Structure 1
Amino acid sequence: MQNIAQIIAQELNVREQQVSATIALLDEGSTVPFVARYRKEATGGLDDTQLRTLNSRLSYLRELHDRRQVILSSITAQGKLTPELQQALETADSKTRLEDLYLPYKPKRRTKGQIATEAGLEPLADMLLADRQADIEARASEYLCEGFADTKAVLEGARYILMERFAEDAELLRKLREHLSQHCVLESRVIAGKEKEGAKFRDYFEHTEALAKVPSHRALAMLRGRNEGILSLSMNADPSVDKAEAKSGSYCEVIIAEHFKLNLSTSPVDLWLKTVVTATWRIKIALQMETEFVSAMRERAEAEAIKVFARNLGDLLMAAPAGAKATMGLDPGLRTGVKVAIVDNTGKLLAHSTIFPHAPQNLWDKSLRTLANLVKMHKVELIAIGNGTASRETDKLAAELIANLKAGAEGEGQPQLAKVMVSEAGASVYSASELAANEFPDLDVSIRGAVSIARRLQDPLAELVKIEPKSIGVGQYQHDVSQSQLSQSLDAVVEDCVNCVGVDLNMASAPLLAQVAGLNKTLAKNVVDYRDTNGQFSNRKQLLKVARLGPKAYEQAAGFLRIRDGDNPLDASSVHPEAYKLVEQIAAAKRLPLASLLGNSDLLREIKAEEFITAEFGLPTVTDILAELDKPGRDPRGEFKTAKFKDGVEELKHLKPEMILEGVVTNVTNFGAFVDIGVHQDGLVHISSLTDKFVSDPHTVVKAGDVVKVKVMEVDVERRRIGLSMRLDEQPMPAAAPRHHQGQNKGQGKGHNGAQKAAKPAAKASAKASAKAPANAAMGNAFADAFAKLKK
């Protein structure tokens, strides 16, 4: 039997030594970011994605191993473990296969088959299975006993014995799964009387498609419809057989008969065995398989939805920061006013206020004067405007403010002012959180939201880590998937992003520090407490003075923590302290002070990494160090860009087909991308409208945060749907033939997702399933032929 390292190595297509070394590091308590960055020699350069996959598979295979040992012990204790069964159990490569093999030996509640066996009917079942020409009534009469008073009861007991035996045959179950995975379809039907109530699911009122290939968004939409009592879902094992023919049985019954070599004829025993086969499928296996296949569909859909969410979250967290500039955050509102918060270039709150420029107060001019005074007083360079209610009206206010400052003499000597629309998804969650309450105990919740909006423009990553990732809302059907798996995946994304960028040790908040490899909430708080008590850190070694932060945590975290203007210039880089001596050797070889290496591109290009390889540091590490010395502490995030929303286009009613607008991608799904164009409702660019070329994955074209140009294709004001295209030469469909939408929703993060539109009408899906599975039709006919004689 292959060991776990061999299995994972084959799956990842890497060497077994790489996997074994990685497993050893993880078992020692090393984190994925640390291993990916600082242990490339050991892992052979496995990246963080491969390491995450390896870690996940390691957990699964270890659970599989543990379960295998429990099963082996159980069967051994029963005295039923044969060499063949042991071999099958030890080579089982999935939990499903393992449980199939264990099924006949698994302790269970007393069944009808067990009752019949206890009554001594098993020899009769074996005899009828072996002798098809027996006198079935005469043989059955020989087994009359208490509880089985007549031959009908005896034969029914023997039938249950064989049904359970057939249904627990692991090889038969494998064959049935293989057949169903290729040919069965999922049928979604509206529950009678629920048509009006479930209008948003109408795309699935009469929907059929291959169960094994249902896309994630459609699967989750149908499952939600079922959970809400609108839809019924069922598995059709014989989609190419018409209803009249299907009444005679399923082709799966043919598979069962063939597996047990039951060449059924018209003899009484064969007629009885035919009822055993039919009952085995319909009573014992069909429902089990339907539950299993629908569960597998749900698991695939959830895994894909989580993957989409994680990828969008990563893109959002890695969005380019506007930078360390004094920023004004505006949290728009109408009746309650616009909340204003000013933060300095470090994110520290300087001032706050509330203005009422909009209805019903309409204090426009007074609001302008208030904002102008704040801008001049605090030398504000950026205005961050939340994209919620009244955002476009507030955007107009900011535009007029900027124009007035440029035109007036009071604008002279002031920094150049710019305004940016910022997603406020999750800002209210942060505002009401314990973290915000501790940071601003005397501040109104709404003002805290304005602070968050300002900070997330300065540095999206540093601010968004304070919010539970699920609340940021860049996923599809996020409330319908496994919340534990979603949290685990999103936490890994946050960890990878934070450690990829690095963290300023003297400025980072406790939530940001908690995401650094090797640290946790407790250690992060201890770091902040030490900093508050002793002042700023001047070197990384001081971390070892922090309460409960030992050598292992220091090893894991030190390379990801930055100290600007500290004792050692390397503390501002991603060079790990364990490699400082190597950098000193490089500087000594060039007869230069260490600081002269930093940013000296010409000199660094002349250095040959091979000359500095040691037993401790291999070529990958030396190469990484030279690259880091070239651009020490570089930020891997891109250049800051922002979309300019079109003036006068502020609501759905302002949109007209063929308008060309600029917007920001807020969410990317498997069927397209949602784009904020400044009308409080994201529009959908269907996958077919992303580019002129064929696209199988929208993420290869756009990502969350991208600024794009789109053309308005259609507007449905009543249903609040906007169809967009990034193919600017594409023409809108005639009004009489509207384009299909994948169900879209407001804001991607407000907690509501509409039902996703089917890509193909049910009739097309059914026809396609039949066309792709001619063998299925042939097998259905074979079934009809096989049992036609039994009906005579």
Structure 2
Amino acid sequence: MNIIQILAAELSATAAQITAAVEMLDDGATVPFIARYRKEATGGLDDTQLRHLEERLTYLRELEARKATVLKSIEEQGKLTPELQTAIEETDNKTALEDLYLPYKPKRRTKAQIAREHGLQPLADWLLDEQPQDVETAAEAYLNENVPDSKAALDGARAILMEQFAEDAELIGRLREKLWNEAEIHAQVVAGKETEGGKFADYFDHREAVRAMPSHRALAVLRGRNEEILQIALKYQPDETPITEQSEYEKIIAAHFNISDGHKWLRDTVRLTWRAKIFLSLELEALGRLKEQADTDAITVFARNLKDLLLAAPAGRLPTLGLDPGYRNGVKCAVVDDTGKLLDTVIVYLHQENQMLATLARLIKQHGVKLIAIGNGTASRETDKLAGELIKGLSETDLHKIVVSEAGASIYSASEPAAKEFPDLDVSLRGAVSIARRLQDPLAELVKIDPKSIGVGQYQHDVNQSQLAKSLDAVVEDCVNAVGVDVNTASAPLLARISGLNSTLAQNIVAYRDENGAFDSRKKLLKVPRLGEKTFEQAAGFLRINGGKEPLDASAVHPEAYPVVAKMLDDLQIKAADLIGNREKIKQIKPAGYTTEQFGLPTILDILAELEKPGRDPRGEFQTATFAEGINEIKDLQPGMILEGVVSNVANFGAFVDIGVHQDGLVHISALSDKFVQDPREVVKAGDVVKVKVLEVDAARKRIALTMRLDDEPGVQTKRSDRPSANSSLPNGRRGGQPNKAQREKAPQNSAMADAFAKLKR
């Protein structure tokens, strides 16, 4: 199968769809553009499918290039056979390809190569083929000046056979999969590191099937090893197994080469090959595979959380006061107008309560502030409390306060974009501006920050950083283009995320706008330096111009499709302004009557949907949580409390909820709903406002167990009837249902929190 056929099979698409998508990607088209405006060519492949296609296309092309290199290398050695060439050409992954190449890969002189040079290859072949019991007598026939005795001859022959066994591609592939499917990873604390490594206490003596290990546990164990707190090893048989007993893996090697069970010398060769050569290599591979799989799973979670944060509903264009809380350095305050323009800044101090309230009241009245955005960092609860008192003391009834995440605000403050925008503003005050703006429009502000600094998941510094950056950048690009931007108000960092644009073009657009005034049509974008027809095609549909000469410029209708709309207007005998938003008129249009060779039914339907709701925002309605008064720290929490909170992150094992005490609580996946939940995102997503009950508080370890099942009682285990049925598959591959007697006797009875964390540990 060629690359197109492989991708078509993986995406359940036709070769024509894949070919069209690949050609457009190779021609420089972006995923958002292809997904939105080239549905006819790709048969409606969405952005998720196109991202997968783009990733796999890169992998398969790298694989093809590597195959060419391997074939050339083996051919130059004069060892390429038709069978080997076929095997290489049919290989569909890099690991199998390297297995085939291993015997021919140039390497330093090995013991086996030296033995061959000393004429011992025939001895090794004869010992394997004939399997004589008296190996020493057989070896005497191969003595020479380099091989003084039978022991040296047998050692050389063994080195040759060990290399031969360890380089058999079919055998290694089989052993690799067997080890992955059956082996356990064992983690133990390094002696003397018990106190220092307290945060890894759950893994001081931990055993788990390597293939079923969830990403968060795998990354935790690997971090413990990197910090020299844990030592880990792969176990393929029980610890009490006698060292002389032949393992299943050794039996497979022996059977592969037809080695008799009664031939001690060859069995010892097999044992030495497995334990000193093959297993050590496969153990490293398995741990690498575990890390790669954990990275992929974790990055997927990070990407989903980032998407939820970026697409959080904006509070809207309202004058906003941003508060960046702090004790010693004070509360940094910044007022921005309804467009995000900075109006005023000041620093106030919590210990000067009256002066602080008076200053904030003045700012609110002077600038007509409607929203107060409070960063959720140090001193946020105290600041939030004073803001509440401030609102009560003012007559404005439409003034509201909201605690927002300040993740990445300090990164933005010291960034180049912030320095360019506010060259004379103190770095600490820039953070307050960011906090205010991210309440008005989270997407527009968060795109200025490195996605990795927004705090979208656990262990993000442990995963593959280039893979993480690539994935998160793709999420940002997809979100920005899904929403679209107003070209006359958007910042350069936001414009840079638009399909077809980059930092240079974004800066050029802003510079042109500053020099010549607001754009009154999309066509005028072609006057921007270095913005040509190709770039215009990619970007125009995602750029909005409100109040311009052409009403369609405020919509997601691409300029290339304006003639289609013009024909609709002619048929209806009305103007564009009278059609846009007019549902009755739009219902009179028959889509099939406007299809052409260039624009098929999918595009016509998209045009009509956009005309009905031009510039529609895919983000939901703005909502905010009201944190309970008097609950400021973890010590203020009591089991049984029902609180409101905001989902900060969603993991595979549950959701973390900010309830206003600096430490997020965990709603385990089993406590998200009365029904069985396979994926927490089926129930919640980052940014959701939820009601939770406190089950238990572990202040020493800073852990808070929560439940969204408000009828759950603290200290009482989950009801059996509410757990997965015996026929339900659990995420780790185990089955649900009633436990046996031994399990019931061992089941912890202390608390629901212990039950939840015991599940995590298992």
- TM-score of Structure 1 vs Structure 2, range by shorter chain: over 0.9
Q: Partner residue of 2:661?
A: 679
Q: Partner residue of 1:136?
A: 135
Distance 2:197 2:750 in 1: 23
Distance 2:244 2:653 in 1: 38
Structural mapping, 1:539-688, within 5 Å = 539-688=521-670
Per the alignment, in what secondary structure is the counterpart of residue 759 of structure 1? helix
Q: Partner residue of 1:759?
A: 759
Q: Verify: 1:456 aligned to 2:438, yes or no.
A: yes
Structural mapping, 1:332-411, within 5 Å = 332-356=325-349, 358-359=350-351, 363-406=352-395, 411=396
- Cα distance, 1:446 vs structure 2: 1.6
Q: Verify: 1:95 aligned to 2:94, yes or no.
A: yes
TM-score for the superposition, normalised by structure 1: 0.91
Structural mapping, 1:160-179, within 5 Å = 160-179=159-178
Per the alignment, in what secondary structure is the counterpart of residue 479 of structure 1? coil
Work out whether residues 486 and 546 of structure 2, in 8 Å CA contact, stay in contact via their aligned partners in 1.
yes
Per the alignment, in what secondary structure is the counterpart of residue 142 of structure 1? helix
Q: Verify: 1:434 aligned to 2:434, yes or no.
A: no
Compared CA separation, residues 13 and 165, structure 1 to 2 (3 A): same
In structure 2, which of residues 236, 250, 257 is the aligned counterpart of residue 253 of structure 1?
250
Distance 1:352 1:674 in 2: 33
Q: Verify: 1:264 aligned to 2:253, yes or no.
A: no
Work out whether residues 674 and 682 of structure 1, in 8 Å CA contact, stay in contact via their aligned partners in 2.
yes
CA offsets 1:68-95 (integer angstroms, 9 cap, x no match)? 0111111111111111111111110100
Distance 2:143 2:182 in 1: 44
Distance 2:276 2:366 in 1: 79
Distance 2:133 2:388 in 1: 95
Distance 1:623 1:760 in 2: 47
Work out whether residues 695 and 753 of structure 2, in 8 Å CA contact, stay in contact via their aligned partners in 1.
no
Work out whether residues 498 and 515 of structure 1, in 8 Å CA contact, stay in contact via their aligned partners in 2.
yes
CA offsets 1:47-72 (integer angstroms, 9 cap, x no match)? 00000000000000000000001111
Q: Partner residue of 2:465?
A: 483
Q: Verify: 1:303 aligned to 2:296, yes or no.
A: yes
Per the alignment, in what secondary structure is the counterpart of residue 645 of structure 2? strand
Work out whether residues 333 and 347 of structure 2, in 8 Å CA contact, stay in contact via their aligned partners in 1.
yes
Q: Partner residue of 1:80?
A: 79
Work out whether residues 334 and 436 of structure 2, in 8 Å CA contact, stay in contact via their aligned partners in 1.
yes
In structure 2, which of residues 683, 689, 695 is the aligned counterpart of residue 713 of structure 1?
695
- Cα distance, 1:135 vs structure 2: 3.8
In structure 2, which of residues 489, 492, 507 is the aligned counterpart of residue 525 of structure 1?
507
Q: Verify: 1:276 aligned to 2:285, yes or no.
A: no
Compared CA separation, residues 470 and 685, structure 1 to 2 (3 A): same
Compared CA separation, residues 4 and 485, structure 1 to 2 (3 A): same
Distance 1:320 1:133 in 2: 78
Structural mapping, 1:5-24, within 5 Å = 5-24=4-23
Per the alignment, in what secondary structure is the counterpart of residue 394 of structure 2? helix
Work out whether residues 128 and 134 of structure 1, in 8 Å CA contact, stay in contact via their aligned partners in 2.
no
Per the alignment, in what secondary structure is the counterpart of residue 55 of structure 1? helix
- Cα distance, 1:249 vs structure 2: 3.2
- Cα distance, 1:202 vs structure 2: 1.6
Per the alignment, in what secondary structure is the counterpart of residue 459 of structure 2? coil
Work out whether residues 713 and 723 of structure 1, in 8 Å CA contact, stay in contact via their aligned partners in 2.
yes
Per the alignment, in what secondary structure is the counterpart of residue 180 of structure 1? helix
Work out whether residues 556 and 614 of structure 2, in 8 Å CA contact, stay in contact via their aligned partners in 1.
yes
Give the superposed CA RMSD.
Answer: 1.5
RCO (CA 8 Å, sep 6+): is it higher in 1 or 2? 1
Which segment drifts farther, 569-578 or 131-140? 131-140
TM-score for the superposition, normalised by structure 2: 0.94
Q: Which amino acid aligns with 2:392?
A: A
Q: Partner residue of 2:280?
A: 287
Distance 2:381 2:133 in 1: 86
Distance 1:534 1:337 in 2: 41
CA offsets 1:590-621 (integer angstroms, 9 cap, x no match)? 11112211000111122111110011100000
Q: Which amino acid aligns with 2:111?
A: K
Work out whether residues 387 and 423 of structure 1, in 8 Å CA contact, stay in contact via their aligned partners in 2.
yes
Q: Partner residue of 1:769?
A: none
Q: Verify: 1:225 aligned to 2:224, yes or no.
A: yes
- Cα distance, 1:242 vs structure 2: 5.2
Q: Partner residue of 2:750?
A: 737
- Cα distance, 1:336 vs structure 2: 2.0
CA offsets 1:462-516 (integer angstroms, 9 cap, x no match)? 0000111111101110000111111000000000000000011000000000000
Distance 1:18 1:736 in 2: 57
Work out whether residues 338 and 355 of structure 1, in 8 Å CA contact, stay in contact via their aligned partners in 2.
yes
Distance 1:29 1:733 in 2: 58
Q: Partner residue of 1:318?
A: 311
- Cα distance, 1:182 vs structure 2: 2.2
Distance 2:241 2:178 in 1: 22
Q: Partner residue of 1:534?
A: 516
Structural mapping, 1:9-158, within 5 Å = 9-133=8-132, 135-158=134-157
Q: Which amino acid aligns with 1:498?
A: V
Per the alignment, in what secondary structure is the counterpart of residue 142 of structure 2? coil
Q: Which amino acid aligns with 1:433?
A: S
Distance 1:526 1:666 in 2: 36
Q: Which amino acid aligns with 1:23?
A: V
Q: Which amino acid aligns with 2:301?
A: V
**Runs of at least 5 residues in structure 2 that lack an aligned partner in the other structure:** 717-747
Q: Verify: 1:193 aligned to 2:192, yes or no.
A: yes
Distance 2:646 2:753 in 1: 22
- Cα distance, 1:740 vs structure 2: 4.7
Q: Which amino acid aligns with 1:26?
A: L
Distance 1:527 1:293 in 2: 50
Distance 2:259 2:563 in 1: 77
Distance 1:458 1:449 in 2: 15
Distance 2:544 2:165 in 1: 65
CA offsets 1:299-334 (integer angstroms, 9 cap, x no match)? 000111111111000000000000011111111122
- Cα distance, 1:264 vs structure 2: 2.6
Q: Which amino acid aligns with 2:697?
A: V
Per the alignment, in what secondary structure is the counterpart of residue 245 of structure 1? coil
- Cα distance, 1:147 vs structure 2: 3.2
Work out whether residues 671 and 742 of structure 1, in 8 Å CA contact, stay in contact via their aligned partners in 2.
no
Q: Partner residue of 2:729?
A: none
Q: Verify: 1:243 aligned to 2:240, yes or no.
A: yes
- Cα distance, 1:245 vs structure 2: 3.4
Work out whether residues 664 and 675 of structure 1, in 8 Å CA contact, stay in contact via their aligned partners in 2.
yes
Work out whether residues 198 and 230 of structure 1, in 8 Å CA contact, stay in contact via their aligned partners in 2.
yes
Q: Tell me the number of residue pairs that the alignment of Structure 1 and Structure 2 aligns.
A: 731
